[in-house]
Protein backbone atom coordinates (compact mmCIF):
# COMPACT_ATOMS: atom_id res chain seq x y z
CA UNK A 1 0.00 0.00 0.00
CA UNK A 2 2.84 2.40 0.83
CA UNK A 3 4.50 1.73 -2.53
CA UNK A 4 1.43 1.98 -4.74
CA UNK A 5 -0.91 4.19 -2.73
CA UNK A 6 -3.60 1.52 -3.02
CA UNK A 7 -4.25 -1.21 -0.44
CA UNK A 8 -6.57 -3.28 -2.66
CA UNK A 9 -5.40 -6.79 -3.58
CA UNK A 10 -5.94 -8.21 -7.04
CA UNK A 11 -6.59 -11.96 -6.93
CA UNK A 12 -6.15 -13.99 -10.11
CA UNK A 13 -7.57 -17.47 -10.57
CA UNK A 14 -5.02 -20.28 -10.44
CA UNK A 15 -5.36 -22.62 -13.41
CA UNK A 16 -4.14 -26.14 -12.66
CA UNK A 17 -2.44 -28.09 -15.49
CA UNK A 18 -2.95 -25.24 -17.97
CA UNK A 19 -3.11 -25.83 -21.70
CA UNK A 20 -3.09 -23.12 -24.34
CA UNK A 21 -5.93 -23.97 -26.73
CA UNK A 22 -7.18 -21.72 -29.50
CA UNK A 23 -10.22 -21.68 -31.76
CA UNK A 24 -10.06 -20.42 -35.34
CA UNK A 25 -13.24 -18.58 -36.35
CA UNK A 26 -14.30 -16.92 -39.61
CA UNK A 27 -17.17 -14.40 -39.72
CA UNK A 28 -18.64 -12.57 -42.71
CA UNK A 29 -20.63 -9.36 -43.10
CA UNK A 30 -23.89 -11.27 -43.46
CA UNK A 31 -24.11 -12.44 -39.86
CA UNK A 32 -22.53 -15.84 -40.42
CA UNK A 33 -19.73 -17.26 -38.25
CA UNK A 34 -18.12 -20.71 -38.12
CA UNK A 35 -15.55 -22.21 -35.78
CA UNK A 36 -12.93 -24.73 -36.86
CA UNK A 37 -11.12 -27.57 -35.02
CA UNK A 38 -9.12 -26.50 -31.98
CA UNK A 39 -5.35 -26.10 -31.96
CA UNK A 40 -3.09 -27.22 -29.11
CA UNK A 41 -0.35 -24.61 -28.55
CA UNK A 42 0.97 -25.55 -25.10
CA UNK A 43 4.62 -26.20 -26.03
CA UNK A 44 6.08 -22.73 -25.48
CA UNK A 45 9.28 -20.99 -24.47
CA UNK A 46 9.27 -17.38 -23.28
CA UNK A 47 5.49 -17.45 -23.81
CA UNK A 48 6.06 -18.01 -27.53
CA UNK A 49 4.78 -21.14 -29.25
CA UNK A 50 7.24 -23.71 -30.58
CA UNK A 51 5.07 -26.72 -31.50
CA UNK A 52 1.36 -26.67 -32.34
CA UNK A 53 -1.04 -29.40 -33.39
CA UNK A 54 -4.62 -29.91 -34.49
CA UNK A 55 -6.71 -31.31 -33.07
CA UNK A 56 -5.69 -31.31 -29.41
CA UNK A 57 -4.97 -34.73 -27.87
CA UNK A 58 -6.91 -33.54 -24.79
CA UNK A 59 -10.08 -31.77 -25.98
CA UNK A 60 -13.15 -33.89 -26.65
CA UNK A 61 -15.99 -33.15 -29.08
CA UNK A 62 -18.27 -31.65 -26.45
CA UNK A 63 -15.64 -29.28 -25.06
CA UNK A 64 -14.67 -28.18 -28.58
CA UNK A 65 -18.29 -27.39 -29.38
CA UNK A 66 -18.70 -25.30 -26.25
CA UNK A 67 -15.47 -23.41 -26.90
CA UNK A 68 -16.38 -22.84 -30.54
CA UNK A 69 -19.88 -21.59 -29.76
CA UNK A 70 -18.55 -19.08 -27.25
CA UNK A 71 -15.84 -17.95 -29.69
CA UNK A 72 -18.47 -17.26 -32.35
CA UNK A 73 -20.71 -15.52 -29.79
CA UNK A 74 -17.79 -13.23 -28.97
CA UNK A 75 -17.20 -12.44 -32.65
CA UNK A 76 -20.87 -11.66 -33.26
CA UNK A 77 -21.08 -9.48 -30.14
CA UNK A 78 -18.49 -7.11 -31.58
CA UNK A 79 -19.69 -7.56 -35.19
CA UNK A 80 -16.36 -9.04 -36.18
CA UNK A 81 -15.83 -9.74 -39.89
CA UNK A 82 -12.79 -11.78 -41.00
CA UNK A 83 -10.70 -14.71 -39.84
CA UNK A 84 -9.77 -14.49 -36.18
CA UNK A 85 -8.27 -16.56 -33.41
CA UNK A 86 -9.78 -16.85 -29.94
CA UNK A 87 -7.16 -18.00 -27.47
CA UNK A 88 -8.13 -19.75 -24.25
CA UNK A 89 -6.56 -21.41 -21.22
CA UNK A 90 -7.93 -24.86 -20.39
CA UNK A 91 -7.37 -26.59 -17.05
CA UNK A 92 -7.01 -30.27 -16.26
CA UNK A 93 -10.78 -30.63 -15.83
CA UNK A 94 -11.47 -29.06 -19.25
CA UNK A 95 -12.75 -25.79 -17.84
CA UNK A 96 -11.75 -23.03 -20.24
CA UNK A 97 -11.03 -19.34 -19.77
CA UNK A 98 -10.77 -16.55 -22.33
CA UNK A 99 -7.31 -15.03 -22.84
CA UNK A 100 -7.53 -12.82 -25.91
CA UNK A 101 -8.67 -12.62 -29.50
CA UNK A 102 -6.17 -12.08 -32.28
CA UNK A 103 -7.92 -10.36 -35.18
CA UNK A 104 -5.99 -12.24 -37.83
CA UNK A 105 -4.78 -15.63 -38.91
CA UNK A 106 -2.09 -17.12 -36.69
CA UNK A 107 1.33 -18.43 -37.67
CA UNK A 108 -0.02 -21.93 -37.08
CA UNK A 109 -3.04 -21.69 -39.40
CA UNK A 110 -1.59 -24.34 -41.82
CA UNK A 111 -2.40 -27.16 -39.40
CA UNK A 112 -6.06 -26.13 -39.44
CA UNK A 113 -6.01 -26.01 -43.23
CA UNK A 114 -4.64 -29.56 -43.38
CA UNK A 115 -7.20 -31.15 -41.05
CA UNK A 116 -10.17 -29.31 -42.63
CA UNK A 117 -9.11 -29.11 -46.26
CA UNK A 118 -9.99 -25.40 -46.29
CA UNK A 119 -7.88 -22.56 -47.70
CA UNK A 120 -8.24 -20.05 -44.87
CA UNK A 121 -6.41 -17.26 -46.68
CA UNK A 122 -8.74 -17.56 -49.69
CA UNK A 123 -11.84 -17.54 -47.48
CA UNK A 124 -10.54 -14.54 -45.53
CA UNK A 125 -10.00 -12.58 -48.76
CA UNK A 126 -13.47 -13.44 -50.05
CA UNK A 127 -15.06 -12.38 -46.77
CA UNK A 128 -13.13 -9.11 -46.92
CA UNK A 129 -14.60 -8.59 -50.40
CA UNK A 130 -18.10 -8.83 -48.93
CA UNK A 131 -18.89 -12.39 -49.99
CA UNK A 132 -20.79 -14.85 -47.81
CA UNK A 133 -18.97 -17.67 -46.10
CA UNK A 134 -18.77 -20.63 -48.51
CA UNK A 135 -19.37 -23.07 -45.65
CA UNK A 136 -21.81 -23.54 -42.77
CA UNK A 137 -20.96 -25.00 -39.36
CA UNK A 138 -22.37 -28.36 -40.41
CA UNK A 139 -19.88 -28.45 -43.28
CA UNK A 140 -16.87 -28.24 -40.97
CA UNK A 141 -15.20 -31.64 -40.81
CA UNK A 142 -11.84 -32.71 -39.44
CA UNK A 143 -9.80 -35.60 -40.77
CA UNK A 144 -6.35 -36.78 -39.73
CA UNK A 145 -3.79 -34.96 -37.60
CA UNK A 146 -1.45 -32.06 -38.31
CA UNK A 147 1.53 -30.66 -36.41
CA UNK A 148 3.73 -27.61 -36.85
CA UNK A 149 7.29 -27.07 -35.62
CA UNK A 150 8.59 -23.52 -35.70
CA UNK A 151 12.18 -23.56 -36.94
CA UNK A 152 13.89 -20.67 -35.17
CA UNK A 153 17.40 -19.22 -35.55
CA UNK A 154 18.21 -19.66 -31.89
CA UNK A 155 20.55 -21.68 -29.72
CA UNK A 156 18.54 -24.25 -27.77
CA UNK A 157 21.61 -25.10 -25.68
CA UNK A 158 21.93 -21.51 -24.44
CA UNK A 159 18.40 -20.81 -23.21
CA UNK A 160 17.14 -20.20 -26.77
CA UNK A 161 19.32 -17.14 -27.36
CA UNK A 162 18.92 -15.74 -30.90
CA UNK A 163 21.44 -16.62 -33.59
CA UNK A 164 22.36 -14.51 -36.60
CA UNK A 165 24.31 -15.14 -39.78
CA UNK A 166 23.98 -16.19 -43.40
CA UNK A 167 22.30 -19.42 -44.50
CA UNK A 168 25.33 -20.91 -46.25
CA UNK A 169 23.42 -24.16 -46.77
CA UNK A 170 19.64 -24.38 -46.73
CA UNK A 171 17.96 -27.57 -47.94
CA UNK A 172 14.43 -28.07 -46.59
CA UNK A 173 12.75 -31.49 -46.89
CA UNK A 174 10.46 -30.62 -49.81
CA UNK A 175 8.37 -32.92 -51.99
CA UNK A 176 7.60 -35.36 -49.19
CA UNK A 177 4.26 -37.00 -48.53
CA UNK A 178 2.48 -35.28 -45.66
CA UNK A 179 5.07 -32.48 -45.36
CA UNK A 180 4.47 -28.75 -45.89
CA UNK A 181 7.02 -25.97 -45.45
CA UNK A 182 6.14 -22.27 -45.24
CA UNK A 183 9.26 -20.11 -45.35
CA UNK A 184 10.54 -16.77 -46.53
CA UNK A 185 14.24 -17.59 -46.79
CA UNK A 186 16.54 -19.37 -49.20
CA UNK A 187 20.17 -20.37 -49.37
CA UNK A 188 22.20 -17.18 -49.00
CA UNK A 189 19.57 -15.31 -46.97
CA UNK A 190 20.74 -13.33 -43.95
CA UNK A 191 19.22 -13.82 -40.53
CA UNK A 192 19.67 -10.45 -38.80
CA UNK A 193 18.99 -9.03 -35.35
CA UNK A 194 16.20 -6.78 -36.64
CA UNK A 195 13.46 -9.35 -37.22
CA UNK A 196 11.80 -12.35 -35.61
CA UNK A 197 14.17 -15.37 -35.59
CA UNK A 198 11.73 -17.71 -37.36
CA UNK A 199 13.26 -19.43 -40.39
CA UNK A 200 10.33 -21.62 -41.39
CA UNK A 201 7.19 -23.43 -40.36
CA UNK A 202 7.63 -27.19 -40.79
CA UNK A 203 4.21 -28.87 -40.93
CA UNK A 204 3.40 -32.57 -41.17
CA UNK A 205 0.10 -34.35 -41.67
CA UNK A 206 -0.96 -37.95 -41.20
CA UNK A 207 -3.92 -40.20 -40.58
CA UNK A 208 -3.31 -40.03 -36.81
CA UNK A 209 -1.00 -38.39 -34.27
CA UNK A 210 1.57 -41.21 -34.35
CA UNK A 211 2.04 -41.04 -38.11
CA UNK A 212 2.22 -37.25 -37.96
CA UNK A 213 4.97 -37.34 -35.31
CA UNK A 214 6.91 -39.97 -37.29
CA UNK A 215 6.77 -37.77 -40.38
CA UNK A 216 7.90 -34.79 -38.33
CA UNK A 217 10.89 -36.75 -37.02
CA UNK A 218 11.91 -37.75 -40.54
CA UNK A 219 11.46 -34.22 -41.88
CA UNK A 220 13.55 -32.74 -39.04
CA UNK A 221 16.29 -35.32 -39.66
CA UNK A 222 16.36 -34.33 -43.34
CA UNK A 223 16.33 -30.54 -42.78
CA UNK A 224 19.76 -29.07 -43.59
CA UNK A 225 20.55 -25.62 -42.15
CA UNK A 226 24.13 -24.34 -41.96
CA UNK A 227 25.41 -20.87 -41.20
CA UNK A 228 23.21 -20.13 -38.18
CA UNK A 229 22.39 -22.12 -35.07
CA UNK A 230 18.79 -23.31 -35.07
CA UNK A 231 16.42 -25.16 -32.74
CA UNK A 232 16.01 -28.38 -34.74
CA UNK A 233 17.96 -30.29 -32.07
CA UNK A 234 15.46 -29.24 -29.41
CA UNK A 235 12.29 -29.83 -31.44
CA UNK A 236 13.59 -33.24 -32.53
CA UNK A 237 14.26 -34.17 -28.90
CA UNK A 238 10.71 -33.18 -27.93
CA UNK A 239 9.36 -35.52 -30.63
CA UNK A 240 11.04 -38.44 -28.81
CA UNK A 241 9.88 -37.32 -25.36
CA UNK A 242 7.59 -39.96 -23.83
CA UNK A 243 5.34 -37.38 -22.17
CA UNK A 244 4.93 -35.50 -25.44
CA UNK A 245 4.16 -38.66 -27.37
CA UNK A 246 1.47 -39.54 -24.82
CA UNK A 247 -0.17 -36.11 -25.28
CA UNK A 248 0.32 -35.10 -21.63
CA UNK A 249 0.98 -31.42 -22.29
CA UNK A 250 0.79 -28.17 -20.34
CA UNK A 251 2.29 -24.72 -20.80
CA UNK A 252 4.87 -25.80 -18.20
CA UNK A 253 6.09 -28.67 -20.40
CA UNK A 254 9.50 -27.22 -21.31
CA UNK A 255 10.28 -26.04 -17.76
CA UNK A 256 9.26 -29.41 -16.31
CA UNK A 257 10.88 -31.68 -18.89
CA UNK A 258 14.01 -29.56 -19.30
CA UNK A 259 14.58 -27.97 -15.87
CA UNK A 260 17.47 -25.60 -15.14
CA UNK A 261 19.95 -25.32 -16.72
CA UNK A 262 17.56 -26.23 -19.54
CA UNK A 263 17.99 -28.33 -22.68
CA UNK A 264 21.60 -29.36 -23.09
CA UNK A 265 21.36 -31.85 -25.92
CA UNK A 266 20.47 -35.48 -26.48
CA UNK A 267 22.16 -38.30 -24.60
CA UNK A 268 22.64 -41.36 -26.80
CA UNK A 269 20.91 -44.52 -25.64
CA UNK A 270 22.87 -47.78 -25.88
CA UNK A 271 21.07 -48.74 -29.09
CA UNK A 272 21.54 -45.27 -30.62
CA UNK A 273 25.24 -45.37 -29.74
CA UNK A 274 25.69 -48.73 -31.46
CA UNK A 275 23.84 -47.55 -34.55
CA UNK A 276 25.73 -44.26 -34.84
CA UNK A 277 29.07 -46.04 -34.33
CA UNK A 278 28.22 -48.55 -37.07
CA UNK A 279 27.06 -45.83 -39.47
CA UNK A 280 30.23 -43.84 -38.77
CA UNK A 281 32.41 -46.88 -39.40
CA UNK A 282 30.60 -47.52 -42.69
CA UNK A 283 31.15 -43.92 -43.81
CA UNK A 284 34.81 -44.16 -42.81
CA UNK A 285 35.26 -47.34 -44.90
CA UNK A 286 33.65 -45.72 -47.93
CA UNK A 287 35.92 -42.69 -47.66
CA UNK A 288 38.90 -45.01 -47.16
CA UNK A 289 38.04 -46.91 -50.34
CA UNK A 290 37.44 -43.65 -52.18
CA UNK A 291 40.87 -42.37 -51.16
CA UNK A 292 42.54 -45.55 -52.44
CA UNK A 293 40.89 -45.11 -55.82
CA UNK A 294 42.24 -41.61 -56.23
CA UNK A 295 45.78 -42.47 -55.16
CA UNK A 296 46.64 -43.63 -58.68
CA UNK A 297 45.86 -42.04 -62.04
CA UNK A 298 46.46 -44.93 -64.44
CA UNK A 299 42.82 -44.88 -65.58
CA UNK A 300 40.36 -47.71 -66.17
CA UNK A 301 36.70 -48.31 -66.83
CA UNK A 302 34.19 -50.14 -64.65
CA UNK A 303 30.81 -50.94 -66.21
CA UNK A 304 31.38 -48.11 -68.66
CA UNK A 305 32.25 -45.60 -65.93
CA UNK A 306 35.60 -43.82 -65.95
CA UNK A 307 37.74 -44.26 -62.84
CA UNK A 308 41.15 -42.83 -62.04
CA UNK A 309 42.86 -45.86 -60.66
CA UNK A 310 42.97 -49.67 -60.62
CA UNK A 311 41.75 -50.03 -57.04
CA UNK A 312 38.10 -49.77 -58.06
CA UNK A 313 38.56 -52.32 -60.83
CA UNK A 314 40.24 -54.75 -58.46
CA UNK A 315 37.37 -54.43 -55.98
CA UNK A 316 34.65 -54.96 -58.56
CA UNK A 317 36.44 -57.88 -60.20
CA UNK A 318 37.25 -59.56 -56.89
CA UNK A 319 35.96 -63.10 -56.42
CA UNK A 320 35.59 -62.45 -52.69
CA UNK A 321 32.25 -61.39 -51.19
CA UNK A 322 34.08 -59.59 -48.35
CA UNK A 323 36.86 -57.44 -49.81
CA UNK A 324 38.15 -55.84 -46.59
CA UNK A 325 37.57 -55.64 -42.86
CA UNK A 326 38.84 -53.45 -40.04
CA UNK A 327 38.73 -53.00 -36.30
CA UNK A 328 37.89 -49.40 -35.40
CA UNK A 329 37.44 -47.47 -32.17
CA UNK A 330 34.64 -44.90 -32.53
CA UNK A 331 34.39 -42.17 -29.88
CA UNK A 332 31.22 -40.06 -29.96
CA UNK A 333 30.97 -36.83 -27.97
CA UNK A 334 27.67 -34.98 -27.81
CA UNK A 335 26.87 -31.63 -26.19
CA UNK A 336 25.99 -33.29 -22.88
CA UNK A 337 27.20 -36.33 -20.96
CA UNK A 338 30.42 -38.31 -21.23
CA UNK A 339 31.87 -39.44 -24.59
CA UNK A 340 30.61 -42.84 -25.74
CA UNK A 341 33.26 -45.28 -26.95
CA UNK A 342 32.41 -48.26 -29.16
CA UNK A 343 34.65 -50.90 -30.69
CA UNK A 344 33.44 -51.77 -34.18
CA UNK A 345 34.49 -54.68 -36.37
CA UNK A 346 33.33 -53.85 -39.89
CA UNK A 347 33.43 -55.83 -43.12
CA UNK A 348 33.09 -54.33 -46.60
CA UNK A 349 31.11 -56.26 -49.20
CA UNK A 350 32.19 -56.32 -52.84
CA UNK A 351 30.84 -53.27 -54.75
CA UNK A 352 27.73 -53.78 -56.82
CA UNK A 353 28.12 -53.74 -60.60
CA UNK A 354 28.33 -50.12 -61.69
CA UNK A 355 29.70 -48.94 -58.34
CA UNK A 356 33.35 -48.30 -57.54
CA UNK A 357 33.13 -48.50 -53.74
CA UNK A 358 31.22 -50.72 -51.33
CA UNK A 359 27.66 -49.82 -50.44
CA UNK A 360 26.97 -52.83 -48.20
CA UNK A 361 28.73 -53.56 -44.91
CA UNK A 362 28.47 -55.78 -41.87
CA UNK A 363 29.18 -54.26 -38.46
CA UNK A 364 29.58 -55.78 -35.02
CA UNK A 365 29.75 -53.46 -32.00
CA UNK A 366 31.61 -54.45 -28.83
CA UNK A 367 31.57 -58.10 -29.84
CA UNK A 368 27.80 -58.16 -30.37
CA UNK A 369 25.87 -59.70 -33.27
CA UNK A 370 26.71 -58.53 -36.79
CA UNK A 371 24.19 -56.21 -38.47
CA UNK A 372 24.13 -55.54 -42.20
CA UNK A 373 24.15 -51.86 -43.23
CA UNK A 374 23.96 -50.24 -46.64
CA UNK A 375 24.33 -46.67 -47.91
CA UNK A 376 25.46 -44.56 -50.83
CA UNK A 377 27.98 -41.79 -50.22
CA UNK A 378 26.48 -38.63 -48.67
CA UNK A 379 24.58 -36.31 -50.98
CA UNK A 380 25.87 -32.79 -51.67
CA UNK A 381 23.60 -31.58 -48.87
CA UNK A 382 25.43 -33.84 -46.42
CA UNK A 383 22.50 -36.22 -45.92
CA UNK A 384 23.66 -39.80 -45.42
CA UNK A 385 20.90 -42.42 -45.41
CA UNK A 386 21.81 -45.75 -43.83
CA UNK A 387 19.53 -48.76 -44.25
CA UNK A 388 19.53 -51.58 -41.71
CA UNK A 389 17.11 -54.02 -40.13
CA UNK A 390 14.31 -52.94 -42.45
CA UNK A 391 14.47 -49.21 -41.77
CA UNK A 392 16.34 -46.08 -42.74
CA UNK A 393 18.30 -43.73 -40.48
CA UNK A 394 19.38 -40.36 -41.82
CA UNK A 395 22.44 -38.65 -40.40
CA UNK A 396 23.96 -35.40 -41.60
CA UNK A 397 27.63 -35.07 -42.42
CA UNK A 398 28.27 -31.66 -40.89
CA UNK A 399 32.05 -31.66 -41.16
CA UNK A 400 34.97 -33.94 -41.91
CA UNK A 401 37.70 -33.44 -39.28
CA UNK A 402 41.32 -34.50 -38.87
CA UNK A 403 40.29 -37.44 -36.68
CA UNK A 404 36.85 -38.30 -38.01
CA UNK A 405 33.61 -36.40 -38.45
CA UNK A 406 30.96 -34.16 -36.99
CA UNK A 407 27.71 -36.04 -37.63
CA UNK A 408 24.20 -35.05 -36.66
CA UNK A 409 21.69 -37.77 -35.76
CA UNK A 410 18.12 -37.08 -34.68
CA UNK A 411 18.89 -33.37 -34.78
CA UNK A 412 21.85 -33.44 -32.36
CA UNK A 413 25.51 -33.06 -33.43
CA UNK A 414 28.29 -35.40 -32.30
CA UNK A 415 32.05 -34.93 -32.59
CA UNK A 416 33.30 -38.34 -33.63
CA UNK A 417 36.81 -39.77 -33.70
CA UNK A 418 37.54 -42.87 -35.76
CA UNK A 419 40.84 -44.48 -34.84
CA UNK A 420 42.54 -47.82 -35.06
CA UNK A 421 42.90 -49.59 -31.69
CA UNK A 422 46.63 -48.71 -31.63
CA UNK A 423 46.06 -44.98 -32.27
CA UNK A 424 43.28 -44.96 -29.67
CA UNK A 425 45.67 -46.50 -27.15
CA UNK A 426 48.37 -43.90 -27.88
CA UNK A 427 45.86 -41.05 -27.61
CA UNK A 428 45.50 -41.75 -23.90
CA UNK A 429 49.01 -40.49 -23.22
CA UNK A 430 48.62 -37.27 -25.21
CA UNK A 431 48.63 -34.03 -23.12
CA UNK A 432 45.24 -32.56 -22.28
CA UNK A 433 44.52 -29.08 -23.64
CA UNK A 434 44.06 -26.49 -20.87
CA UNK A 435 40.74 -24.62 -20.88
CA UNK A 436 41.05 -20.85 -20.40
CA UNK A 437 38.97 -19.50 -17.49
CA UNK A 438 36.87 -16.55 -18.68
CA UNK A 439 34.44 -16.41 -15.78
CA UNK A 440 35.75 -12.93 -14.96
CA UNK A 441 34.47 -11.62 -18.30
CA UNK A 442 30.94 -10.89 -19.46
CA UNK A 443 30.68 -11.20 -23.24
CA UNK A 444 27.61 -10.91 -25.41
CA UNK A 445 26.35 -14.36 -26.46
CA UNK A 446 24.66 -12.93 -29.57
CA UNK A 447 24.74 -9.71 -31.62
CA UNK A 448 22.34 -7.09 -30.31
CA UNK A 449 21.80 -3.66 -28.81
CA UNK A 450 22.47 -2.75 -25.18
CA UNK A 451 19.05 -2.03 -23.68
CA UNK A 452 20.09 -1.38 -20.09
CA UNK A 453 23.02 -1.73 -17.67
CA UNK A 454 22.15 -2.71 -14.10
CA UNK A 455 25.55 -2.24 -12.37
CA UNK A 456 28.40 0.27 -12.20
CA UNK A 457 32.17 0.12 -11.78
CA UNK A 458 33.21 -0.74 -8.22
CA UNK A 459 29.90 -2.40 -7.34
CA UNK A 460 29.86 -5.79 -5.59
CA UNK A 461 27.92 -8.44 -7.53
CA UNK A 462 26.82 -12.00 -6.82
CA UNK A 463 26.77 -14.96 -9.16
CA UNK A 464 23.47 -14.95 -11.06
CA UNK A 465 22.88 -11.21 -10.55
CA UNK A 466 21.56 -9.24 -13.53
CA UNK A 467 24.35 -7.26 -15.21
CA UNK A 468 22.72 -5.89 -18.35
CA UNK A 469 20.02 -6.52 -20.95
CA UNK A 470 20.83 -7.00 -24.64
CA UNK A 471 17.97 -6.69 -27.12
CA UNK A 472 17.96 -8.88 -30.25
CA UNK A 473 15.26 -10.22 -32.54
CA UNK A 474 12.38 -8.58 -30.64
CA UNK A 475 13.54 -10.19 -27.37
CA UNK A 476 15.27 -8.75 -24.32
CA UNK A 477 17.99 -11.08 -23.04
CA UNK A 478 19.18 -10.71 -19.46
CA UNK A 479 22.92 -11.36 -19.00
CA UNK A 480 24.02 -12.36 -15.50
CA UNK A 481 27.26 -12.61 -13.54
CA UNK A 482 28.97 -16.00 -13.63
CA UNK A 483 30.61 -15.55 -10.21
CA UNK A 484 30.84 -13.27 -7.18
CA UNK A 485 33.13 -10.25 -7.50
CA UNK A 486 33.52 -6.53 -8.07
CA UNK A 487 32.88 -4.73 -11.37
CA UNK A 488 36.34 -3.77 -12.65
CA UNK A 489 35.36 -2.18 -15.98
CA UNK A 490 32.35 -1.62 -18.26
CA UNK A 491 33.20 -1.49 -21.97
CA UNK A 492 29.88 -0.35 -23.44
CA UNK A 493 26.95 1.99 -22.83
CA UNK A 494 23.18 1.85 -23.36
CA UNK A 495 22.37 2.03 -27.05
CA UNK A 496 25.61 0.45 -28.28
CA UNK A 497 25.38 -2.25 -30.95
CA UNK A 498 27.38 -5.36 -30.02
CA UNK A 499 28.79 -8.17 -32.10
CA UNK A 500 29.01 -11.78 -30.98
CA UNK A 501 31.49 -12.27 -28.09
CA UNK A 502 32.13 -8.55 -27.63
CA UNK A 503 33.51 -7.82 -24.14
CA UNK A 504 30.86 -6.03 -22.05
CA UNK A 505 32.28 -6.06 -18.51
CA UNK A 506 35.16 -7.35 -16.40
CA UNK A 507 34.83 -8.70 -12.86
CA UNK A 508 37.62 -9.05 -10.28
Task: Single out the residue of 164, 195, 197 nearest to residue 498, CA to CA.
Answer: 164
Question: Is residue 362 annotated as part of the catalytic site, yes or no?
Answer: no
DSSP 173: -
The CA distance from 26 to 83, in Å, is: 4
Local structure of 6: helix, strand or coil: coil
The CA distance from 447 to 322, in Å, is: 53
Between strands 360-365 and 460-461, the pairing is unpaired
Interacting residues of 170 by C-beta distance below 8 A, sequence separation 6+: 185, 186, 187, 188, 189, 224, 225, 226, 227
**Measured on CA atoms in the order 271, 277, 281, 282, is the torsion positive or negative?**
positive
Between strands 19-27 and 190-191, the pairing is unpaired
CB 22 within 8 A of CB 39: yes
Task: Single out the residue of 467, 503, 504, 498 nearest to residue 484, CA to CA.
Answer: 467
The CA distance from 228 to 23, in Å, is: 34
Active-site choice (87, 100, 148, 362): 100
Task: Single out the residue of 413, 433, 403, 384 nearest to residue 329, CA to CA.
Answer: 403
Catalytic residue numbers read 100
Amino acid sequence: AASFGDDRIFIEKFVDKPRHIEIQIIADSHGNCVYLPERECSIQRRNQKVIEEAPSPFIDEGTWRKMGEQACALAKAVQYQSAGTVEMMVDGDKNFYFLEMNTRLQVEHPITELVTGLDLVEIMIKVAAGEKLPIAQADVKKAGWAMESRIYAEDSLRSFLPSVGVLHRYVPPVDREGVRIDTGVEEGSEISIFYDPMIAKLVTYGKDRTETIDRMKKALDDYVIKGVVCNINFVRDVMDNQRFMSGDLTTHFIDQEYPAPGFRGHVLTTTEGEQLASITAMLFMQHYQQAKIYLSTSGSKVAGKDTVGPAALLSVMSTQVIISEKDLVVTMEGTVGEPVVKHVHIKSYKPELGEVISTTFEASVDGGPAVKYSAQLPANSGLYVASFEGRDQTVQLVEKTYAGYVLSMSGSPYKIKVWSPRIEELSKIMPVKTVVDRSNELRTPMPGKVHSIAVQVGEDVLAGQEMCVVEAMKMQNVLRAQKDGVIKAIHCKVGDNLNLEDLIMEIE
